[in-house]
């Protein structure tokens, strides 16, 4: 059976140009082609019977028309409270049926949305609230006390609204309905609603938090135009618009931009968003996939290996047409295993950054191990981090710098961090080491802050993890450093065995000895665990690994 090869194509840009032109024709403002609120509003309004979203945990669903009406009512509630362009609201909740409504309402009005990890404690929340100074915090009742305490400690006056019921505050349903008259003429309400006019190039849309595992968390300030330009590049291989795919399964929470992509663009591109509001387990994943047959998902390699294994038969993944992998190193054997699901399934290993609104490289027709080739939205250069000189030759390691319209405004209310990372000439310093070949295939080497230092040598955890994963009995591996007064850091390997497989610590050490130079050997030992710890954005939790390396017995 033959399958059509998907090449990079400009179809998404042709479609969005026509789509945004209808918005501009109505308003007469050329910049509205980047106004996310007006674009979302147009998408919801044009096909009000289309299935907008499904919560696979509760089996609730909603049409475009329902979401449009509820988001208008929410926007009116914001206006009645006196919220205006530039004010900030916080959303901290799992992906459920109500989450998109205040998000869209805020974007209609130029209000900034800060998506925050719902599991954070009081002190962590306090730090974010001090910077964001939100007018409203949307959360669940179980987080009310922590949010209230954090706001008090931060000295910020903010209204708390819970998506479910809490006797101490207003719930979301009452907040929306109490600020709007009963809807009698749906068409009239929609037609008479006026969205705010503003400059999308200067108006912030999202404050996206960094992972916080390598230092203090910061909020990345992304404008409407940053995101409107960056996000379409994830659809370069698709030619069918609208509806490049039927159902997208959201894995990550809203604070991870790979989830935010689909909240923003599903109304424009006309596909259904499928999400789960309960904690994601193997059983939940299988239940949702088997029932709703999603065609597209983006997921981290570590989480995918936890949720699903080729040997399992209780989850039928043949419904998927595309599986994007990102957030951490992607093992080649995992890509090969995914291709066994069905002929023609598209797998992609994407490298992206929140600071630039999404993808940095395009992965088609690249060499094995490459993260991809340059996109047309950026200027690229590699810089020697020691001499700060540009690297023009191939196969030389350097820090990747980027420049272009998707690059964010910097870190919200953090001028020192912004000045350090966003430098003269409009360049953004990624903090990641790459090299390129003669054909401009780029290869990721390591995150600069993750490099271990043994004596006078630098060690890449990713390189050692790739070696360890070659063992046939190893399911996954992660490497961190054990502090050592004499040597600096000693590499420690955390290893997850495959089911019903055995491998000893000495076998792992011997494999490393055989594969790499002496300075990179596992002098810190080996620790066997059931699963690799992950952050809430499903990346390897490096900070927790370092703590575990000190506390646990090493072999």
Q: What is the pLDDT of residue 215?
A: 44
Cα distance between residue 268 and residue 50, in whole Å? 12
Q: What is the pLDDT of residue 13?
A: 96
Tell if the pTM clears 0.85, that is, is over it: no
Cα-based distances in Å from 385 to 422, 434, 459 = 15, 11, 16
Alpha carbons within 13 angstroms on the beta-carbon side of residue 200 total: 22
Q: Which residues of the chain have pLDDT under 50?
A: 1-4, 179, 211-215, 310-311
Answer yes or no: are the C-beta atoms of 378 and 351 closer than 8 Å. no
DSSP string spanning 212-247? -SSSS--EEEEEHHHHHHHGGGGGTT----S-SSSE
Q: Where would I find the H helices in 393-471?
A: 415-421, 461-468
Q: Could you give the angle at the alpha carbon of 477 between the alpha carbons of 476 and 483, nearest 5°?
A: 160
Which position has the token pair 């309905």? Answer: 177
Delimit the CATH 3.40.50.12780 region(s) of the chain: 11-278
Cα distance between residue 245 and residue 251, in whole Å? 16
Delimit the CATH 2.30.38.10 region(s) of the chain: 350-447
At the topology level, CATH places domain 456-551 in GMP Synthetase; Chain A, domain 3 (3.30.300)
Delimit the CATH 3.30.300.30 region(s) of the chain: 456-551
Q: Where would I find the H helices in 133-256?
A: 144-154, 172-178, 186-192, 224-230
DSSP 3-state assignment of 396?
coil
Which CATH code for domain 350-447?
A: 2.30.38.10
In sequence order, the 6+-apart residues with CB closer than 8 A to the CB of 372 are: 350, 351, 360, 361, 362, 363, 364, 366, 441, 442
Q: What is the pLDDT of residue 216?
A: 54
Q: What is the pLDDT of residue 539?
A: 73
At the topology level, CATH places domain 11-278 in Rossmann fold (3.40.50)
Helix H, strand E, coil C: the string for 269-291 is HCCEEEECCCCCCHHHHHHHHHH
Q: What is the pLDDT of residue 285?
A: 92
């Amino acid at each position: 059976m033959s399958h059509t090869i998907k090449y990079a194509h400009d179809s998404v840009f042709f479609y969005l140009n026509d789509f945004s032109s209808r918005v501009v024709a109505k308003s007469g403002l050329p910049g509205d082609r980047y106004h996310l609120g007006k674009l979302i509003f147009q998408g919801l309004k044009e096909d009000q019977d289309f299935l907008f979203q499904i919560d696979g945990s509760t089996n609730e669903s909603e049409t475009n028309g329902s979401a449009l009406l509820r988001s208008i009512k929410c926007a009116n509630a914001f206006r009645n409270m006196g919220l205006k362009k530039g004010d900030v609201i916080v959303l901290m909740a799992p992906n459920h049926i109500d989450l998109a409504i205040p998000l869209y309402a805020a974007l209609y009005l130029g209000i900034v949305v800060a998506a925050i990890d719902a599991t954070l404690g009081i002190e962590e929340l306090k730090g974010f609230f001090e910077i964001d100074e939100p007018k409203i915090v949307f959360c669940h009742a179980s987080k009310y006390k922590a949010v209230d305490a954090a706001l008090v400690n931060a000295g910020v006056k903010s209204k708390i609204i819970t998506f479910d019921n809490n006797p101490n505050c207003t719930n979301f349903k009452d907040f929306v309905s109490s600020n709007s008259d009963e809807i009698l003429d749906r068409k009239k309400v929609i037609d008479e609603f006026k969205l705010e006019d503003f400059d999308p190039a200067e108006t912030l849309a999202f404050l996206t938090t960094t992972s916080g595992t390598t230092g203090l968390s910061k909020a990345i300030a992304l404008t409407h135009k940053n995101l409107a330009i960056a996000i379409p590049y994830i659809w370069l291989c698709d030619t069918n618009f609208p509806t490049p795919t039927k159902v997208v399964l959201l894995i990550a929470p809203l604070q991870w931009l790979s989830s935010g992509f689909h909240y923003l663009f599903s109304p424009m591109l006309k596909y259904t968003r499928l999400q789960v509001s309960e904690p994601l387990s193997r059983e939940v994943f299988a239940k949702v996939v088997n029932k709703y047959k999603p065609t597209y998902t983006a997921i981290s390699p570590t989480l995918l290996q936890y949720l699903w294994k080729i040997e399992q038969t209780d989850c039928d993944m043949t419904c998927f047409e595309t599986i994007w992998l990102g957030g951490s190193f992607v093992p080649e054997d995992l890509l090969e295993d995914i291709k066994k699901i069905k002929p023609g399934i598209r797998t992609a290993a994407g490298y992206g950054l929140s600071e630039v609104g999404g993808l940095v490289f395009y992965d088609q027709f690249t060499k094995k191990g490459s993260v991809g080739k340059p996109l047309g939205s950026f200027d690229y250069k590699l810089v020697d981090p020691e001499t700060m000189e540009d690297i023009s030759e191939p196969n030389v390691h350097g820090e990747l710098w980027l420049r272009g319209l998707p690059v964010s405004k910097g870190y919200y209310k953090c001028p020192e961090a912004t000045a350090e990372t966003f430098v003269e000439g409009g360049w953004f310093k990624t903090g990641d080491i790459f090299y390129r070949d003669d054909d401009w295939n780029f290869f990721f080497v390591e995150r600069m802050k993750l490099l271990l230092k043994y004596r006078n040598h630098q060690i890449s955890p990713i390189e050692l993890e790739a070696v360890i994963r070659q063992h046939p009995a190893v399911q996954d591996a992660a490497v961190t450093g054990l502090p050592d007064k004499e040597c600096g850091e000693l590499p420690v390997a955390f290893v997850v065995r495959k089911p019903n497989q055995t491998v000893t610590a000495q076998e792992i050490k011997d494999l490393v000895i055989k594969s790499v130079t002496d300075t990179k050997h596992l002098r810190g030992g080996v620790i066997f665990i059931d699963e690799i710890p992950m952050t809430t954005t499903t990346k390897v939790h490096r900070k927790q690994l370092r703590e575990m390396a000190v506390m646990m017995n090493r072999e």
